[in-house]
Structure 1
Amino acid sequence: MKVVQVLPALELGGVERGTLEVARGLVAAGHESIVVSAGGRLVEQLEREGSRHVQWGLGKKSLLTLLQVAGFRRWLAEEKPDIVHVRSRMPAWVVWLAWRKMDPATRPRFITTLHGMHSVNRYSAIMGKGERVIAVSETAKRYLLDNYPEVDPAKVTVIHRGIDPEEFPRGYQPTEEWKTRFFDECPQALNKHLICFPGRITRWKGHLDLVKVVATLSQQRQDFHVLIVGSDPKNKFIHEVKAAISAAGLNEYFSFLGTRSDMKELYAISDVMLSLTSTTAEAFGRTVVECLSIGTPVVGYAHGAVAETLGAIYPEGRAVTGDIPDIVRSIEGVFHKSKGVGLKNNPFVLDHMITSTLEIYSNYRM
C-alpha cells in the first residue's frame, strides 16, 4: 500500500508521535509511507525511519489555506495513494474538499482520526466525514456520536493509543549520572516525595487545582515536591499559575521543568503522577499509561479517557472529579505504600495500535 498521513506539523505532541509510530509500522510491513506537514523537529526522525516527508502547510486556521485545495487534488492524482489519513481539522478540510471531487473509482480512501474532543461546531464536524473514522478511545467515540448524529456508528472504530512497554519498562531506574545531574539542577527536590505533573500548561489541564491540592497536602506534611513538566504554548497562563502559587505561599513546593525528553526518568523517580483534567476531557491519557507501565502510581480525576484508562489498568487511582480532599487522600495512600504498580494486562500497547490501524488500511483500500 501507499499511505499518506496529513497533519499540521511535526513538532512534539501526541498526534505527531502517533503519526511517526504508524509510519514506522507501515515501513516495517513493507508499505510506502508519506507524511504531509509544514515540517518540524521530527522530520529528520521520520525520514531516518524510512518514510517520505512532503512539506506542505495545511494547518493554518485561515480561509486562505483553502486556496490550496486544487493543488492538493492535483498532487493526490499524481501520487495515487491507496489511503489518505488526516488527523487534524484544518488539514482535514483541505484534503476532504480536494478528495470529494476526484473520481470515486480511482481516488484514495479517506480516513480520519479523532484525537481530541474539540468544540462542537461545523468546523469540527469534518473529523466525522471520513469513510472510516478512528477514535482514540471510547470517550472520543461517544463525543463524536453524541454531538454529530449524522455520523454512522458503523464506520467508527476505537483504536486506543498505545505505548511501547520496552520504552517504559517495569521497575526502570535512571543512572546515577542522570540522578546526580537532575538533583544538581533541582536541589529542592532531593530527599522528598516527588509528585510528577506532566502536560502542557493550559487551563484545562488542571494546574490551578494542583495548587489547591498542594495547599491542602502541605497542611499535613512538608516532605514533598511537585515537578511540573511542560510548557505554556502561549506563555500567558503560566503567569497565572505562578501567581496563584505565590499568593498561597507555596513556591518552595514547585519546580517548573519545561518541556523534557527524559520523561521515563522523571516517572521513575516520582512517587506518584497526577492527572487533574476536569473541564475539557482527555481523549487518551498517554502519560497515565507511560507512568503506570514503569510502575509509578497515578492518581487522577475520573473524567474522560483518564477514567477509561485508569478503570482498565489501575482503578484504585481514580478520584472524584474536582474533589481536592479525595486527591490528597489518594496521594497520602501512595506515599505510605512501599512498592509500585504491577500491570498484568495492559491493552494500551503500541503493537496493538499499529496492527489495528494497518488492518483498517488494508480492509478499506481500493
Structure 2
Amino acid sequence: MTTPRTMKVLHLSSSLKHDESERGIYAITHALMRAGHESIVIGAADEDSELVTRLLRDDTLYYRLSMPKKSWWALRNVFKLRNLIQEHRPDIVHVHSRTPAWVLHWALRLIPKDEHPKVVATMYGFYPLNSYSRALFYADVIITASISIDKYLKDKLEHKQDELDIAKLPFDIVCIKRGVDVRTFPYRHNSSVYWLHSVFAEYPELEHKKWLFFPTPIGTEYGQEWLVDILGNLQDKFPDIHAIIAEDLETNHTDQDVAHEEFIQRIHALGLDSRVTFIGRRPPDMKEWLSSANIVLALANRPESIGMTAQQAIHLGTPVIGWAKGAFADILATTYPQGLVKEETAIALCKAVKSHLQNRLRPAMTHEYTIEQMTAETLSVYQSLMPACQLVEKDRHDNLVCVRIDDE
C-alpha cells in the first residue's frame, strides 16, 4: 500500500510559440493540476499569448525566460533558473529542448546535490548525438516521443555512448508517443456548410473536386515533387483530382524558396498549376481541411519524427497515404495499414491513391495516439521518480512503520 503524495513539476522549454501539439506541455500541466499536483512552466512566450493564458487559467505558474535554440546567450539565464528552482523546489524538472537542458545542467551545478530535483528530458526528433545533445543525458529518464525516435536513440547509443562519455549515466529510456485530443479531432467530423461555402467563395476551383491534402510547406525534405507524379498520372482517370498545399503561394525569401520556385515552375510547365491550390502555412482551420479531404498525403523524403497531422487525420477518419518510414510507418502500421506505401516509387504511390479514390476507404476509429494516453504515461513516469511511502510489516504483531524509498 502506497501513500499518495503531491508532486511539483517544472517544465522547461525554449519556446511555447510553436510545436505545442507535439510537445503537449499544456495537456501535461492540465493533467497535473486536475490530479491535484502543482505545475510551473518556463518558456519564451509573452504572457498575453494564447497558450500562456490557458496555463494561467489552470493556476499553472509561468515565468518568461528567453532561451533561444542553439544560442550561448541562453546561458545568461543560469542564475535566474537556479533561483527559481531554489524558490519553488520542484520535485521534477521536465526539459523539452536541448538548449534549456544545458541551462539546467549549469544551474544544478550551483545547487547542493541533496537539493537536486529529478530530471526528465524528452527527445522530439532525430537529434544528432553530439556534444550539443549531451545535456539531455544528464536526466534520470529520457522520454522518446515516437517509436521511431526510440529505435533511433537506442541504436545510436550502442555506438556513441563511449564517445559521448555517457555510458555510466544512469538514465532510463521510455517511449511515450505524442497524441491527439479526440475531443478537438472527433471521429468522422463533418465540416459545416458555412465553412464549405466560405472555402468555395475563396477558392472556387475546389468545388466538386477530389481533394488530395498536402499539409506541409514546400521544401526539399517534404516530398512535394511526388504530387507532380500523382496529378500527371491520374488526371485522365480522375479529371476532378486536385492538390491542396498548406503553404503560401508567395515566397518569403527563406531557405525553402528554391524548392518552392522549382515546384511552381514544374507544375506550370506540365500544365498542372490549375490542379494545385495553396491555402497558407498552418491554417487555423486545419481540422476542417483534414476532415474534408479525400486523402491526406504523408510523403516526406526524410523520416518524420512525430507525424502529428497524420495522427489528426486518422482520428478524424480521413485516409492517410504515406511512405513506410519514420513516424508515418509507426502510425499507419498501427492505425491504417492500407495507407502504407512500402515501395518508394511513383507507380506504387499512384496505385495507392487510385485505390483510395475508387473505393472510398476510411480508417476505423482508434484508441491509439491519444493525448489522454500520452498524459497518463507521462504522469506515470513522474510518479515513478517520486519518493514513495510504503507500509510494511515490522514484526509478528503486525505493527506497521512508514519506510521512505528513494530512487537514488
Please confirm whether the aligned pair reaches a TM-score higher than 0.5, indicating the same fold.
yes
- The separation in 2 between residues aligned to 1:69 and 1:200, in whole angstroms, is 36
- Residues 137-194 of structure 1 show CA distances to partners (whole Å, capped at 9, x for unaligned) of 2211111122234367970001111112222222210111111111111111111000
Distance 1:14 1:336, change over 3 A: farther
CA distance in 2, matches of 1:317, 1:233: 33
Q: Which of 241, 244, 247 is the equivalent residue of 2:266?
A: 247
The amino acid across from 1:245 in the alignment is: I
In the alignment, does 2:296 pair up with 1:266? Answer: no
Residue matched to 2:154: 145
- Pick closer, same or farther for the CA change 1:294–1:16 going to 2, 3 Å: closer
Cα distance in 1 for partners of 2:17, 2:339 equals: 31
CA distance in 2, matches of 1:323, 1:180: 37
Distance 1:234 1:26 in 2: 42
- For the Cα contact (< 8 Å) 2:231–2:241, is it kept in 1? no
Residues 60 and 134 (structure 1), Cα distance of their counterparts in 2 relative to 1, 3 Å cut = closer
Q: Which residue of 1 aligns with 2:206?
A: 189
1:316 aligned onto 2:338: yes
The answer as to 2:115 corresponding to 1:106 is yes
1:136 aligned to which of 130, 140, 145: 145
SS in structure 1 at match of 2:212: strand
Matched position secondary structure for 1:126: helix
Alignment RMSD (CA, Å): 2.3
Q: Could you tell me which residue of structure 2 aligns to residue 361 of structure 1?
A: 382
- How far off is 1:245 after superposition? 3.0
Distance 2:76 2:343 in 1: 44
Map of 2:350 onto structure 1: 328
Which residue number in structure 2 is paired with residue 216 of structure 1?
233
Deviations 1:174-218 (A, max 9, x none): 111111111111111111000111134443222233334333333
> Do the aligned partners of 2:121 and 2:139 also contact (CA within 8 Å) in 1?
yes
Matched, 1:349 2:370: yes
The correspondence for 1:275, drawn from 298, 301, 309, is 298
Partner residue in 2 for 1:89:
98
> Cα 1:36–1:304, aligned 2, differ >3 Å: closer, same or farther?
same
Matches of 1:223 and 1:270, distance apart in 2? 13
The correspondence of residues 31-180 of structure 1 with structure 2, limited to 5 A, is 31-40=37-46, 41=49, 42-149=51-158, 150=161, 155-180=172-197
Closer, same or farther in 2 for the Cα pair 1:20/1:234, shift >3 Å? Answer: farther
Once residues 126 and 213 of structure 1 are traced to their aligned partners in structure 2, the CA distance between those partners, rounded to angstroms, is 44
Is it true that 1:198 corresponds to 2:215 in the alignment?
A: yes
Is 2:219–2:259's contact at 8 Å kept on the other side of the alignment?
A: no
For residue 14 of structure 1, report the CA deviation from its aligned partner: 4.2
Amino acid at match of 1:208: E
Deviation readout 1:45-95 (Å, 9 max, x if unpaired): 222233221100112422222232233222211121111111111111111
> 1:355 is paired with a residue of what secondary structure?
helix
Q: How far is the alpha carbon of 1:236 from its aligned partner?
A: 3.7
- Take 2:341 and 2:66, find their aligned partners in 1: how far apart are those partners? 41
Amino acid of the structure 1 residue aligned with 2:239: Q
Deviates more, 1:144-153 or 1:182-191: 144-153
CA 83–321 in structure 1, closer or farther in 2 if over 3 Å, else same: farther
Corresponding residue SS for 1:308: helix
Compute the displacement of 1:132 (Å): 0.5
Structure 1 stretch 138-147 or stretch 68-77: which is displaced more?
68-77
Give the distance between the partners of 2:228 and 2:29, measured in 1 at CA. Answer: 39
Percent of residue pairs bearing the same amino acid type: 29
Q: Distance in 2 between matches of 1:353 and 1:30?
A: 18
* Residue of structure 2 in register with 1:21 after alignment: 27
Partner SS for 2:115: coil
Q: Select the structure of larger CA radius of gyration.
A: 2
Change (3 A) 1:125 1:321: farther
Unaligned runs of 5+ in 2: 1-6, 388-408
What amino acid maps onto 2:304 in structure 1? E
> Which runs of no fewer than 5 residues in structure 1 stay unpaired?
none
After TM superposition, the structure 1 stretch with the greater mean CA deviation from structure 2, 328-337 or 71-80, is 71-80
Shift of 1:12: 3.0
How many equivalent pairs are there?
A: 364
Deviations 1:19-62 (A, max 9, x none): 11111111111111111111153222222233221100112422
Contact 2:44 2:64 in 1 (8 A): yes
Corresponding residue number in structure 1 for 2:256: 237
CA gap of 1:268–1:354, structure 2 versus 1, over 3 A, is same
SS at match of 2:93: strand
**Residue type of the alignment partner of 2:136:** M
